[in-house]
Amino acid sequence: MRRSWPLILMLAIAAGAFLRFANLGANEMSADEGATWAAAVAPNVAQVITLGEKLNPGKIAAHEVLLHGWIAMFGDGIEALRSLSALFGTIAVVLVFWVSREMLGSVAEDAGAGGREDRGANLTAAIAALLFAVNLITIKYSRELRMYSMTLAASLAQIALFLRAARRGGVGNYAGAAALAGAAVTVNFFAILIPAAEGIWLVYLLARAGPRPMTEDARRVVRLAIALAIGAVAFAPLILMELRNGSAAVSRGMLKWAERPPLWEPVALFNKATGTFAFPLLAALAAYGAIRGWRRAHDAVAFALVWMWAPIAMLMIASYAITPVLVERYVLSCFVPLFFLAALGIRQLGSSRALGLALAAAVALSIGHVYGFMRKPHDIQWREAATIALQNLAPGATLATRPAYAVEVVRYYLPAAERARAERGGDSSIVIVENRKRGSGSLTAIRQQYPVTLARVRGVDVLSR
């Protein structure tokens, strides 16, 4: 079975690509995606950055700048727009193999390249990649026109280089880990949770090394810490600007929809993201992998646990001390160590038959979760609402949306010549109102101003005076 890892890895890449690219236009664009599109289609990079900071507050527009060039090559059809995220999501499947292999690198190297443990490390990494490839939480954000798939890919590459640098050293590994840490944070500020967790790991390694004389392992840890510190200083202006803009956005109510998580939310987060039926199996396999692998692959298991829980614990503390921020898309990379530990558990089962059955069950339950999610509509029909509103709009009149930022997705679905008629504010004659997750009092107040219902489609009402 150990020799079958190339086949499992190829299956992971193929399944991952299919689940991320297939029928990308099935769901209509969301309001959040509309904000990303509006920034990316600005005439030049400078305006992309300016609009990106305005429309996606708290985030540097690194993703929008890349998307700007993508649009220049492939256009701004919904499939073309989302294909950039799908590409990053597919690349992430390979990166999960790499980072899993790096976590087990010391075990394989101690046994000698090409040996039994080396092949076993490849098998574990390939299984982890397959579990990642077919899991809904990793697929969903690879099919959205947002920065989360890009953030995940950058974070995974950074972690792989971090682990390689800690084990082998090397100027390229140090520089790559530092540069990618800063780059990931410029895509999404919450990527800063990864180097924060890595800092905990470096402290642990130094404490384990003990006092002088300093070993070569400890010297590599110190060099890596210095490299990360230099990277933090280099990216500090962008990170501080991102933090300042994000704090201002939070004070304006950007996260008012988020609720303070209950104390059991860290576990519930994994349950909701991986599926009610898949999670118990994955959790059991992960626990088995952690217990059985603790002696032989102690560092791999310990790092996986730090990576899995430290960022979530930080957001839990922030949610109680400052404002609720524990949202699954902010901790996407924390699901990877769950898949790694589950893969380690599968590999520890012993016989090829037991391994195959466990892997098949985990994959089948994960795909079942994906199928159950995909067969139900989760989008809002902004396109139909925009069409109805335009048909009923008098010459010279304007339309608006509630929430106001949804105006960008409505503009996307309007003909280019009519987009200026969709406004964020002003005295509009028609308003398109999202009726999901909004209090009845808010909707009642809007209806008092716009008493005529022109249409009701999925997720939105089209109202007129």
* 162-185 pLDDT, tens digit each: 999 999 999 999 999 999 999 998
**376 pLDDT exceeds 50?**
yes
**440 pLDDT exceeds 50?**
no
* 231-263 pLDDT, tens digit each: 999 888 877 777 777 676 666 666 666 778 899
CB atoms within 10 A of CB 465: 12
pTM comes to 0.93
> What are the CB-based long-range contacts (under 8 Å, 24+) for 68-74?
68/40, 68/41, 68/42, 70/40, 71/40, 71/41
What was the pLDDT predicted at 116? 58
Six token digits for residue 124: 């574990």
Does residue 324 have a cis peptide bond before it, meaning omega lies within 30 degrees of 0?
A: no
Q: How confident is the model at residue 266 (pLDDT cuts 50, 70, 90)?
A: very high
H or E element, residue 128: helix 116-133
What was the pLDDT predicted at 111? 45
Q: Which of 9-18, 29-38, 54-63, 223-232 has the lowest mean pLDDT?
A: 54-63
Give percent of the chain above pLDDT 90: 73
Can you tell me the mean pLDDT for 73-77?
96
* 3-18 pLDDT, tens digit each: 789 999 999 999 999 9
What was the pLDDT predicted at 153? 97
What is the torsional sign of CA 359, 364, 369, 374? positive
CA gap 84, 13 in Å, rounded: 16
Q: What is the mean pLDDT of the chain?
A: 90
CA gap 399, 445 in Å, rounded: 17
Q: Which of 6-20, 110-124, 328-342, 406-420 has the lowest mean pLDDT?
A: 110-124
What was the pLDDT predicted at 250? 64
Report helix, strand or coil for 147. Answer: coil
